[in-house]
Amino acid sequence: MYKILKRRQLNENVVLMDIDAPYVAKKALAGQFIILRVDEYGERIPLTVADYDREKGIVTIIFQIVGATTQLLSTLKEGDCLKDFAGPLGKATELEGYKKVCVIGGGVGCAIAYPSAKSLFNSGAEVDVIAGFRSKDIVILEEEFKAVSTNFYLTTDDGSYGEKGLVTEKLQKLIDAGNKYDMVLAIGPIPMMKFVCKTTEPYGIKTMVSLNPIMIDGSGMCGGCRVNVGGEIKFACVDGPDFDGHLVNFDELMKRNSTYREAEAHDKAHCRLYKGV
């Protein structure tokens, strides 16, 4: 069992938890993820490792309440335990050798972008961070990003906080201002990542994205997380989740991710593998 050591509500629909998971913390790296089950009847869901403390054996997860399992997970309190917490899974983000990087997070995707920004900054790289949100009331991790970035820019769609506009507009301004990025790392909603890639492609800037397709077992056996990258089928759980954004078929990914949208509704997400459930 994996005890919840800390629970913090970041906004109305986003929750941070510190989990006592020393074996996971010992091996975790930026970009990797875990798969958890809340209880013995629960479904398996992947969540990115948002942070880790090897000495204390703590792994931090941040999740948005969007379905039955995250709703149930959000009801747990400090001292409660999770049934399963498997990981770290996936390939770590390749962060070595970069001198100037722009890390872009959109909404709850900022939770995934944070550990990469932190690792890059701590390794001595110059890190520009662009964090984008729809409005002020859903902003998360602002102070955390400020502590691990050379320059921090916050945008909101409605202009209620920071600069008004999209992350792509801010990125274009930074490129036009003469910033020469070795890499851009974009993590967030699929349309956001798609248009970040369209922004950088004319300049030949290496652009990596972290993909979030439907995932079940996390070992590459089920094939549920397949994505089309450069015309080849890849599995996000073992080949990723990071991929060259200029090669990703984002339109196909969006279509696949919407396949089970109706079945993921709260009142329909009941496991039928057990009698009486």
Residues 192-235 pLDDT 10s: 999 999 999 999 999 999 998 877 777 778 777 888 999 999 98
pLDDT tens string 99-119: 999 999 999 999 999 999 999
Which percentage of the chain shows pLDDT scores above 90? 70
Q: What average pLDDT score do residues 78-83 get?
A: 94
Decide if 2-89 and 93-210 have a common fold. Answer: no
> When comparing pLDDT for 121 and 220, which is higher?
121
pLDDT tops 80 at residue 265: no
pLDDT tops 90 at residue 75: yes
- Write down the pTM of the prediction: 0.86
Amino acid letter, residue 4:
I
Q: How far are the Cα atoms of 28, 268, 271 from residue 277, in angstroms, in the given order?
A: 34, 12, 6
Query: What is the CATH topology of the domain spanning 93-210?
Result: Rossmann fold (3.40.50)
pLDDT tens string 19-28: 999 999 999 9
pLDDT tops 60 at residue 178: yes
Grade residue 169 by pLDDT with cuts at 50, 70 and 90. Answer: very high
Domain spans of the chain, in order of start: 2-89, 93-210, 213-265
Spatial separation of the C-alpha atoms in residues 113 and 187, rounded to whole Å: 6
Which percentage of the chain shows pLDDT scores above 70? 93
The pLDDT value recorded for residue 222 is 79
Question: CATH class for domain 2-89?
Answer: mainly beta
